[in-house]
């Protein structure tokens, strides 16, 4: 299929994914996520986790498209050997990041709920620290990310319609889109003072989904590396 791919559209799709990952990774600066909660021995960021958690899925999407792009630059043999190793390294990093986010997120969520459900002083403390969430900025960010992902999908179709036959790629792209919609839904379903909680819940759910994708990628990469060494 590589010979028939319209390379400019493919490159544009890859660029859009890279921009998406950079925006998600740097969303703390956009959303002003500077507040933290002290939990014995640890500091937890509390605002904007939902947007940032999607990077776990989009990093794997960027990896998938990047490895497809390498076939234009490397020989088939070298590409086959490189693919497994690069996938293993990136997927392990995503796996570790996802585990860290889930455990720290659950810990932070426990603190937030404990304070919220302990009136009057606990509730007052919760509202003072987490009772405000920049929902408009988060909505703008999520809308921008959705446009980038839709643009990526269109560019892939223009590059070659047979990309639709690559089930793993299509499912990963759909997962990324649904993750953003889920976070946006959770931001909008509750009153403003509770958005910090639903945002964190969304981050944990997306992180678990990212973990499942990362585990799948690790298993596939280990098989590829084993075949290459054999």
Q: What is the pLDDT averaged over residues 100-109?
A: 94
The sign of the dihedral angle between the CA atoms of 167, 149, 50, 45 is: positive
Please tell me the predicted confidence (pLDDT) of residue 168.
Answer: 93
DSSP assignment letter at 68:
H
Distances (CA, A) of 32 to 26, 67, 77, 137: 10, 34, 46, 9
Average pLDDT over residues 152-175: 95
What residue spans define the domains of the chain? 2-229
Rounded distance, CA 155 to CA 153, Å? Answer: 5
Q: Is pLDDT of 209 > 50? A: yes
The CA distance from 86 to 92, in Å, is 10
Structure tokens at 81: 């050997």
Q: Which DSSP helix (H) or strand (E) runs through 37?
A: strand 36-39
129: CB partners within 8 A, 6+ apart: 35, 37, 46
Going by the DSSP 8-state scheme, the letter that residue 73 receives in this structure is T
pLDDT bin (cut points 50, 70, 90) of residue 180 is very high
């Amino acid at each position: 299929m590589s010979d028939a791919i319209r390379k400019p559209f493919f490159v544009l799709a890859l660029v859009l994914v890279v921009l998406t990952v950079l925006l998600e990774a740097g969303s703390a600066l956009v959303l002003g996520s500077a507040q933290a909660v002290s939990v014995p021995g640890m500091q937890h960021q509390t605002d904007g986790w939902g947007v940032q958690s999607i990077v776990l899925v989009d990093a794997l999407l960027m990896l998938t498209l990047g490895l497809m792009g390498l076939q234009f630059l490397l020989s088939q043999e070298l590409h086959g050997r490189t693919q497994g190793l690069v996938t293993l390294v990136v997927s392990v990093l995503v796996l570790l990041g996802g585990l860290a986010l889930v455990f720290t997120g659950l810990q932070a969520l426990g603190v937030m709920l404990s304070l919220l459900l302990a009136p009057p002083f606990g509730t007052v403390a919760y509202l003072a620290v987490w009772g405000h969430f920049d929902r408009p900025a988060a909505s703008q960010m999520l809308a921008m990310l959705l446009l980038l992902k839709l643009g990526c999908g269109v560019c892939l179709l223009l590059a070659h319609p047979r990309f639709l036959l690559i089930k793993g790629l299509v499912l990963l792209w759909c997962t990324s889109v649904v993750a953003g919609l889920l976070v946006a839904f959770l931001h909008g379903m509750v009153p403003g003072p509770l958005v910090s909680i639903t945002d964190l819940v969304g981050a944990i759910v997306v992180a678990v989904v990212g973990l499942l994708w990362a585990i799948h990628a690790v298993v596939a990469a280990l098989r590829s590396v084993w075949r290459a060494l054999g």
